[in-house]
Structure 1
Amino acid sequence: MIGSDPFVRNEREVWIAERSDRLAAVFAERAPGHDREGSFPFDNFRDLKEAGYLKLTLPKQYGGDEASLYEMVLAQERLARGDGSTALAVGWHIGAMLQLRYTKAWPEKLYAGFCEAVIRDGAMVNNFASERATGSPSRGGRPETKAVRTEGGWLLTGRKTFSTLSPILNHFTVSAYVEEEEKTGQFFVRKGPGVSIEETWNTMGMRSTGSHDLLLERVFVPEEERIDGKGRGEDTGMSDYGGALLHIPACYIGIAYAARDYAVRFAANYKPNSLPGSIAELPNIQRQIGEMEAELITARTLLYAAADRWDREPERRPEMRPELGLAKYTATNHALRILDLAMRIVGGSSLSRDLPLERMYRDVRAGLHNPPMDDAVITSLARRAIAEVQQQADSGRRGAGEI
C-alpha cells in the first residue's frame, strides 16, 4: 500500500520512508537537548547504525541497499523532520558513499575494505576540504594543508574547518597541496598519531553536527592511500556533477516540512476566547498556510524531479549541475520562507526555546552557507541562458547563410 505522499512511488520507497520516520520520531525527542548543549548526538548515530541506515547508498555487492539518488533524497528529507543536525551530518557520509559508487574514485581494495567496515562496524566517512584561508572549496582556493613526500607515503600538516562528523569518525579524506607536483591531492586518513580535534563548533544553528576543526600534524598516509588518480574505472574524478549534494536541500526541506506540520496543528487547535473557533478558520491564517504549501510543494517537486532525472538520464548528468544547484537554491530559500510563515502563524510563542520552531528557524539559516552558494547557482543559470541564446543566434546565422 503506497502512502499518501506523492513522492513515495513504490513499496521499496515506503520501506525507506518508514524507516526514516521511525528514526525521526526518536531523534525529535532528543533534538532540544543536543541543541541546547551543542553536544554531538552519539545516541542518534547508534540508532542509525542499528537500523542499517549507514549502508543506505552502499552497493548491494558489499551488503548495502544501493539506494538511488531519489531514494537517498527521500530518506534524508524524512529523517530531517526529526532532527536537522543529525540528518545533515549523516548526509555527508551517505552522500559520499553514493558518489563513490558512481565515480569509482577509490582503489578497489580500499573501497571494498571500507564498505565492509560500514557494514561491520558502522564506519562513516566525510571529505574535509574547507579551511579558514580558502573558505569553501567550491570557490576554488588552494588548500594550505600540505602533503610532503616521505618514505612509503606522505606526511600531512594543516587545519581543516567545518569538519562535520569529526567527533565520531575514524576515517576521512583530506585535500592537501602537493608542492612538488603543484597540484592538490586527495588522501585517505585514519585517525591516529598527529590527528586531533579542536572543538570550535559553537554556532547559532545546526549546533549538533560536530563540525569542529581538524588538526593534522605530520600525519602519515601510505602511498596506496593517496586516492586521487587511483580509481577503479575510467571515471576517476571526484565529481558526480553535484548529484550527491542533493542530501543538503533534502535536509532543509525536511526541517521546513516539520515546521509546516507544527504550525498547521497549532492553528487547528488554538482557540483563543476572542474567537468562536480555532485560528485556522481565519482568512489571514489560511492565506499563510496556503503560502507555506505553495513554497513546500514547489521546492519538493523541483528537488525530487531533479533527483529522478539524474537517476534516469546518466548521460545528461554533466549538463545538470545548474539544475541541481537550482534545487538546492530553491529548497533552502523556500525553507526560510516556510519557517517565517510558520512563526507568524504561531505568534510570539514561536520564539520560546521550549518549542521547536525557533530551533528549526536557526537550523534552516545554515542552508545558505552549504554548497552550492546562492550566487554561484544564479551565475551558472545566467551563463547557461546566455550560452543557449548565443547558440540559437549562431544556428540562425548558419541557417541564413545556407539559404
Structure 2
Amino acid sequence: MTTLLSDDLLATIRGRAAIHDRENSFFADDLADLRAAGYLAALVPTSMGGAGLTLRELCHEQAALAGAAPATALAVNMHHVWTGVARFLHERDDDSLDWLLAEAAAGEVFGFGYSEAGNDLVLLGSRTEARPDGAGGYTFHGRKIFTSNSPGWTRLGVMGLDSTTDPEDPRIVHAFVARDAGGFQILDDWDTVGMRASQSCTTVLDGAPAPADRVMRRIAPGPSLDPYVLGIFTSFEILLASVYAGIADRALELAVAAVGRRTSMKTGKAYSQDPDIRWRIATAALAQDGIWPQIDQIAGGIDAREDRGAGWFRATSGLKVRATETARQVVDEAIRCSGGSSYFSRSELGRLYRDVLAGIFHPSDDESAHSQVAQSLLGPLED
C-alpha cells in the first residue's frame, strides 16, 4: 500500500495539534507541509503529476493524519473529496473535472461550499441563488456554513438554484469559484467545541462568479444518479468515515497506554489487569474491528468501478453513520478507562472527545441514512 505521510511528518503535525486547538488557529503550517509532501495530489493519477493513490489507500492515509491531528485531517478531507470526484469521473471516461486534477497537482487547494443552515435536502436542493451572468456562467448569492479550510482554499466548489432561466424547470447549478475573483466574505465565526483548527467558517456568497468553463452541472432538484452527484456523495462519505476511524484508532491506542501506566491503590496492579477495564478496552476494540473491513470493501468497490447505481447511496451513508457512531463509542470507552486527567482540555483524549462529536453533524446524519435504507427496502413514502 502506497503511503505519502512519513512518521516524522505525522509526528510534527501531532506536535502542533494541541496548539492550534488551544489558540483556535488555522493549520497553515500543516497545510504547507502536506502540500510539499505531494499530499494534495494524492488521488491525482501519476500521468497527470499526482501520486496515483487509490481511494482505499487514501482512506488509510487520512486515518493516520486524523490520528495525529483530527481537525487538519477533516479540513484536508474536503480538498480530497473534490479530487475524489474528479478521479471518479476521470475513471469513467468523463473528463469534465480533469482540469481540477491538473490544478490540484499544481498546488491549488479546493474547498467544499455546499452546506447551508436548515437545508436538509443537502445535494437535492439549495437555498443559494445561482444567477446567470449572460455568458454561460453564474454568480452565486447565499450563505454556506461549515466551510472547512476557509483561510486556505483557492478554489471553492459551490451549488445554487437557478430558478430564473426557466421558472418551470429550475436547476441545481454545480460550479467552482476562485478566491482571487472575490464576491464573497468569510466570517470570523468559528469558535466551536472541537475541530477548531479546521476553521470551518461561514462563507457569505455575494456575487461570487463562476465563468462558463467552471460550471460543471445543471441538474434538476431532487434525487439524481448523475455521476457528478454520485461522485460527490461517495467520496464525501467514504473519506469522512476514514477520518473518524482514525480518531477511534488513536483513542484506543491512548487508552491502552494509559491503563498500562495507571496503578490501582486497591490492588497494587496496573489497571490493565482490572477485569472491568479489560472489558471496556475489548468492547472498544471489538467495535472498531468492524469498521476497517467496511471502509476497505466500499472504497475498494469505487476503485474497482463497480456499478451499484442508487445502491451506493445506501452503502456509503450507512458507512459514514457506522464509522462516526463507532468512533464516539470508542472514544467514550477510552475516556472511561483513562481517568479524570482526560477531562482537562490539554489532554489529547479530551481533545479527541470534543473532536469526535463533530461526526454527528456531517451529512449523512442518522435520520437521512435511515431514510435511505428504508427507501431502498420499502420504496418511497406514499403521498
Unaligned runs of 5+ in 1: 1-12, 388-403
> 1:87 is matched with which residue?
73
For 1:384 and 1:141, locate their aligned partners in 2 and report how far apart those are by CA, in whole Å.
Answer: 21
For 1:278 and 1:56, locate their aligned partners in 2 and report how far apart those are by CA, in whole Å.
Answer: 43
Gap change, CA 1:176 and 1:241, over 3 Å in 2: closer
For 1:166 and 1:218, locate their aligned partners in 2 and report how far apart those are by CA, in whole Å.
Answer: 18
> 1:349 is matched with which residue?
341
Letter in 1 for 2:89: T
Displacement after TM superposition at 1:136 (Å): 6.2
Please, which of 132, 152, 160 is the counterpart of residue 144 of structure 2?
Answer: 160
Q: Structure 1 residue 260 and structure 2 residue 244: aligned? A: no
Letter in 1 for 2:330: I
Displacement after TM superposition at 1:264 (Å): 0.5
For 1:159 and 1:106, locate their aligned partners in 2 and report how far apart those are by CA, in whole Å.
Answer: 34
Please, which of 197, 205, 209 is the counterpart of residue 194 of structure 2?
Answer: 205
CA shift digits 1:357-391 (9 cap, x unpaired): 1110111111011111111212222333336xxxx
> 1:48 is matched with which residue?
34
> 1:173 is matched with which residue?
157
Instruction: Answer with 57-66 or 284-293: which moved more.
Output: 57-66
User: Contact conserved, 1:264 with 1:289, CA < 8 A, in 2?
Assistant: yes
Unaligned runs of 5+ in 2: 220-224
> 1:304 is matched with which residue?
296
For 1:248 and 1:149, locate their aligned partners in 2 and report how far apart those are by CA, in whole Å.
Answer: 35
> 1:340 is matched with which residue?
332
RMSD (Å) for aligned C-alpha atoms: 2.5
For 2:316 and 2:173, locate their aligned partners in 1 and report how far apart those are by CA, in whole Å.
Answer: 26
Letter in 2 for 1:325: S
Q: Structure 1 residue 188 and structure 2 residue 176: aligned? A: yes
> 1:96 is matched with which residue?
82
For 1:276 and 1:359, locate their aligned partners in 2 and report how far apart those are by CA, in whole Å.
Answer: 30
Q: Structure 1 residue 71 and structure 2 residue 71: aligned? A: no
> 2:222 is matched with which residue?
none
Displacement after TM superposition at 1:72 (Å): 1.7
TM-score under structure 1 length normalisation:
0.84
Letter in 1 for 2:312: M
> 1:391 is matched with which residue?
none
CA shift digits 1:261-313 (9 cap, x unpaired): 11110111212444332110111111111101101101222222222233335
Identity of aligned residues (%): 26
For 2:309 and 2:317, locate their aligned partners in 1 and report how far apart those are by CA, in whole Å.
Answer: 12
Displacement after TM superposition at 1:217 (Å): 2.2
Letter in 2 for 1:134: N
For 2:189 and 2:24, locate their aligned partners in 1 and report how far apart those are by CA, in whole Å.
Answer: 11
Q: Structure 1 residue 238 and structure 2 residue 234: aligned? A: no
Letter in 2 for 1:163: T
Q: What secondary structure sits across from 1:134 in the alignment?
A: coil
**Which has the higher Rg, Structure 1 or Structure 2?**
1
CA shift digits 1:175-230 (9 cap, x unpaired): 12212232221222111332321112111111111211112222333222222159
Mapping 1:86-165, distance limit 5 Å: 86-104=72-90, 111-120=97-106, 122-134=107-119, 137-138=122-123, 140-150=124-134, 153-165=137-149
Gap change, CA 1:27 and 1:149, over 3 Å in 2: same
Gap change, CA 1:348 and 1:149, over 3 Å in 2: same
Q: What secondary structure sits across from 2:345 in the alignment?
A: coil
Q: Structure 1 residue 32 and structure 2 residue 23: aligned? A: no
User: Contact conserved, 2:172 with 2:218, CA < 8 A, in 1?
Assistant: no
For 1:216 and 1:241, locate their aligned partners in 2 and report how far apart those are by CA, in whole Å.
Answer: 21
Q: What secondary structure sits across from 1:184 in the alignment?
A: strand
> 1:398 is matched with which residue?
none
For 2:301 and 2:174, locate their aligned partners in 1 and report how far apart those are by CA, in whole Å.
Answer: 30
Q: What secondary structure sits across from 1:81 in the alignment?
A: helix
For 2:186 and 2:197, locate their aligned partners in 1 and report how far apart those are by CA, in whole Å.
Answer: 15
Instruction: Answer with 35-44 or 265-274: which moved more.
Output: 265-274
For 2:282 and 2:311, locate their aligned partners in 1 and report how far apart those are by CA, in whole Å.
Answer: 34
Q: Structure 1 residue 220 and structure 2 residue 212: aligned? A: no
